[in-house]
Structures are given as C-alpha cells and as structure tokens.
Chain A
Amino acid sequence: NAGVTQTPKFQVLKTGQSMTLQCAQDMNHEYMSWYRQDPGMGLRLIHYSVGAGITDQGEVPNGYNVSRSTTEDFPLRLLSAAPSQTSVYFCASSYLGSDGTSYNEQFFGPGTRLTVL
C-alpha cells in the first residue's frame, strides 16, 4: 500500500494564480481531511470529508475549495492564491467509527510546501 500520497511536494505561485493540490489514499478510508501547518500554529483543519460526495468546512476554509468524487481522491483547490496561504499542507485519512466518531489514527501524507509570492 502506498498509504496517503500528495503531489506536488513543492510549489511556488504568484499572487492570484490558481492551483490544485492532489491527495490520494489506497486504504479505503471514509474520512479525509486537509490541514495547513504554520510555524507556532500547529495543524489547522481546512476542509474534511466523511465520504464520496460529502464535504464540510474546518477551522480555516476561506480561500480553499474541495470536492470528493471518489473514496480515494480529495483534491484541494486554491482559486486565487494569496501570500497568506504560504504554508505546508498535509492531507490525512482515517476510518470512521460506526457512531460517526473516528476513534482511529489518522494517516498523513508527506506534505506540500507552498510559497505564494
């Protein structure tokens, strides 16, 4: 199993450009999520999904869009990049418990380091 994969590993954008960060998992996990990690801020949840066709907002959703058309893929779109979106982005996945609470470890991808000039 490849686990959680993310592409690209590094990206430099100019302000106003758009791009999509790719995330895929091969563990048949229902739950997938996107985080950003900034120095001293820890991981902050951007968007998450509990299954194909279902997405919801996390703590810091502004400026980002997601969709979940398959169980395996969960891309994150930046529609108009801003310098404030310079960060390291992590995708994660896990199983969902029967009562909707995860109770399971999250598997993280290797991250995408994004710089917006």
Chain B
Amino acid sequence: SQKIEQNSEALNIQEGKTATLTCNYTNYSPAYLQWYRQDPGRGPVFLLLIRENEKEKRKERLKVTFDTTLKQSLFHITASQPADSATYLCALEKYNFNKFYFGSGTKLNVKP
C-alpha cells in the first residue's frame, strides 16, 4: 500500500517568515496530491490540489510544488501569521482508485 511521510516534529517559525512543509510518498505515483489544514478538535479543511502533470500551484500566500521524480511535494506559506498555526496534512489518490491516503501531518507553530 501507499506510504506517505510528513515530518512528525513540529515546525516553529517566526511571524513573517516562509514556512515549508514536506510530504514524501513511496510506491505508485498518485493522480494528484492534496493539502489540508486541521485545527484541534475539528475536521480537515481542503487547501490546495496539484495534479501529477503540474509542477506548481499557488493560492494567495500558499504554494505547492510536486516533483514526481523525487516523489515529493512541498507546501509553502509565505508571510506566515500566528493564525496559520495548525496541523497540515497531505493526501493522495491513485488514478481510478477511489482510495485516499493521508500523511500523519506536520504541526506548524507561528510565533508573533
């Protein structure tokens, strides 16, 4: 089955800096990869989706890259704010497979 690795250690950064989170996967290449935000006690909320044939996707202060050679996606938050503090999850789906695999998430702490 698919294995997805995210850094289990919390990422602590200063307000205004760029946060970079990593998602690595093994085995088959996904059709696409998604990033979600999860706050304590709540369900995940969708942020961005990037397809297999796309290198980069942007949405406001968020940027996702996808390197199928390295089997890695990077998630960037520029000009980070304390309100960005949360756990960020990556997820992927194989073509026509209807099964999503999630990483365990990385906790981001943005200090004022």
B interface with A by C-beta (< 8 Å): 1, 4, 6, 8, 31-32, 34, 41-46, 49, 51, 89, 91, 93, 95-105
| Residues on A with beta carbons closer than 8 Å to the beta carbon of B93 | 101-102
A90-B44, A103-B32, A103-B51 provided; 18 other pairs, C-beta below 8 A?
A: A4-B43, A42-B6, A43-B89, A43-B91, A45-B99, A48-B99, A59-B1, A59-B99, A92-B43, A99-B95, A101-B98, A102-B98, A103-B31, A103-B49, A108-B43, A108-B45, A110-B42, A110-B43
Closest to A90 in B: B43
Q: CB-defined interface of A71-115 with B at 8 Å, one 1/0 digit per residue?
A: 000000000000000000010100010011111111111110000
A90 to B91 Cα, complex, angstroms: 15
Please report the C-alpha to C-alpha distance between residue A89 and residue B29 in the assembled complex, in whole angstroms. Answer: 27
Contact present for A42 and B100 (CB under 8 Å) = no
Assess whether A53 is interfacial by the CB under 8 Å rule: no
Whether A50 contacts B98 in the complex (CB less than 8 A), given A103-B49, A103-B51, A107-B46, comes out as yes
> Which chain B positions have C-beta within 8 A of A48?
98-99
For residue B103, which residue of chain A has the nearest CB?
Answer: A42
CB distance from B53 to the nearest CB of A (A): 12
Contact between A44 and B102 (Cβ–Cβ < 8 Å)? yes
Q: How far is the CA of A44 from the CA of B44 in the complex (A)?
A: 13
Asked whether, in the complex, the Cβ of A42 is within 8 Å of the Cβ of B99, the reply is: no
24 contacts between A and B (CB under 8 A): A4-B43, A41-B104, A42-B89, A42-B103, A43-B89, A45-B100, A48-B99, A92-B43, A99-B96, A100-B98, A101-B32, A101-B97, A101-B98, A102-B98, A102-B100, A103-B32, A103-B49, A103-B51, A105-B46, A105-B49, A106-B91, A108-B45, A109-B43, A111-B43
